[in-house]
Amino acid sequence: MDVLAIVLLLIALMALAGVVIYFLNDYAKYKDSNSKDVAATNKRVDAEQGDRLSNVKFVVDQVNTVNQDIYKSFTTSNATLTTGLSNVALTQSNMLTGMNKVMSFSSSNSGVLKLTDLPGYTNPDINLIQKVNATMGMTVKDLDKAGNVMSMCSKSDPSRCIKLPDVNGNTVFRNLDAKGDLVLQNLDAGQGIRLDGNVTVNDKLNFGPSAGGGSFINNGSVAPMVIQTGRLGVGNSSMTTAAAMLHVKGADATVPLIRVDTNNGNTVISIDNMGNNVVINSGNVKINGNLSVSGTITNGSGAAILARPGGVPMNPAATRPLVLTVPNGAAPV
């Protein structure tokens, strides 16, 4: 009984040992398998970590490269901008200096203005210091006598000005030098100076000599007036000089050479265009001195009063003039 029990106990112990050995062997296999799996996993993790870190480093390096390029570009641009601003400042300074040499700006309230102050003023005054050349023309608008006047004044006498217009609305051309003349000059052949409208002369009107020896006043192409020293000629377009102190030359077949009227329009003396008839419309004709007649003296109706081919000499006494009175229609003397 004891032996059987011992045998059974041994069998149980052997069975238990077998189970333990089985489990230990299975655990060892499992552990070995897990160790291999863990090692493989660690290896894969290490490889992945290396790949990840390499990629991250590459990205970081690229980002750093981009940042360096950006910084370099910014530094270069900033240097260029700084240089450009310096050049702009220099150019602005030169421009202001140049502008100040040719013009200045002012305001009635603030006096002299800087060019940079102009945006704050709506109507600044511009003072031109140097010569101004308008190549393509120049138009001055809104001139009026109320204050928008264009004036060009003398340096030696600021009161001498050419004004467009003056306070009365007149356009004033004045000599800017006290010793100089106001000259309207046209030297082109066949051209002249035209005045449209009435001309008022408040002082002397002097005529200078022309190329023909005298000054000419023309009405178109006919009836010129020739003015020479001590001579006055009136005639047609062929007259170039006055042959006497008063020289009249016919210009029209229908216009008398000379006609003298009274203030009420009555003609006193008239000489026709051919010089054939001299008409004196007067109550009395008085002649002091000799009278020589070649031809016929007629009355108002055409009847002869005196007729002598060689002329009729009349020599009255110095103290008693000869007066011939023939009534109209009376018989010839």
In this predicted structure, the answer to whether residue 156 has a pLDDT above a threshold of 80 is: yes
What digits encode the pLDDT tens for the residues 245-264? 888 888 777 888 888 888 88
User: Which of the given ranges, 103-117, 127-141, 164-178, 216-230, has the highest pLDDT on average?
Assistant: 164-178
Is 172 a domain residue?
yes
Distance CA 247, CA 191 (A): 27
* Model pLDDT, residue 221: 57
The pLDDT confidence band at residue 293, using thresholds 50, 70 and 90, is low
175's tokens: 């000599």
In this predicted structure, the answer to whether residue 313 has a pLDDT above a threshold of 70 is: no
Instruction: Look up residue 220 and give its DSSP letter.
Output: T
Is 119 a domain residue?
no
Q: Give the CA count within 13 Å in the CB-facing half-sphere of 57.
A: 6
Q: What are phi and psi of 276, to 5 degrees?
A: -80, -30
Distance CA 31, CA 198 (A): 135
The pLDDT confidence band at residue 201, using thresholds 50, 70 and 90, is confident
Distance CA 100, CA 113 (A): 11
Mean pLDDT of 290-299: 68
In this predicted structure, the answer to whether residue 332 has a pLDDT above a threshold of 60 is: no
3-state class (DSSP) for residue 210: coil
Is 330 a domain residue?
yes
* Model pLDDT, residue 320: 47
Is 212 a domain residue?
no
**Number of domains composing the chain:** 2
Q: Domain span at residue 173?
A: 139-193
**Mean residue pLDDT across the chain:** 75
Q: Which residue has the higher pLDDT, 208 or 320?
A: 208
* Model pLDDT, residue 331: 45
In this predicted structure, the answer to whether residue 321 has a pLDDT above a threshold of 60 is: no
Is 76 a domain residue?
no
Q: What are phi and psi of 4, to 5 degrees?
A: -65, -40
In this predicted structure, the answer to whether residue 330 has a pLDDT above a threshold of 50 is: no
Domain-ending residue, one of 165, 193, 221: 193
The total of other beta-carbon atoms located within 10 Å of residue 263's CB is 5
Mean pLDDT of 136-164: 85
Partners of 240 in beta bridges: none
**Minimum mean pLDDT among 5-9, 198-202, 220-224: which range?**
220-224
Distance CA 252, CA 260 (A): 18
Is 303 a domain residue?
yes
What digits encode the pLDDT tens for the residues 300-310? 666 555 554 44
What digits encode the pLDDT tens for the residues 81-113? 888 888 887 877 777 777 777 777 777 776 777
Is 130 a domain residue?
no
Domain-ending residue, one of 161, 193, 225: 193
In this predicted structure, the answer to whether residue 139 has a pLDDT above a threshold of 70 is: yes
192's tokens: 């002249």
Q: What are phi and psi of 219, to 5 degrees?
A: -115, 90
Q: Which residue has the higher pLDDT, 167 or 322?
A: 167
Domain-ending residue, one of 158, 193, 228: 193
In this predicted structure, the answer to whether residue 2 has a pLDDT above a threshold of 50 is: yes
Q: Which residue has the higher pLDDT, 164 or 330?
A: 164
The two beta strands, 246-248 and 231-234, are: parallel
Q: According to DSSP H, which parts of the chain are helical?
A: 2-102
Percent share of the chain, pLDDT over 90: 0
**Minimum mean pLDDT among 69-78, 133-142, 152-161, 212-221: which range?**
212-221
pTM of the model: 0.45
Is 20 a domain residue?
no
Reference 313, options 294, 331, 332, 326; nearest CA is: 294
- With beta carbons less than 8 A apart as the criterion, state whether 175 and 160 touch: yes
Instruction: Look up residue 161 and give its DSSP letter.
Output: E
3-state class (DSSP) for residue 115: helix
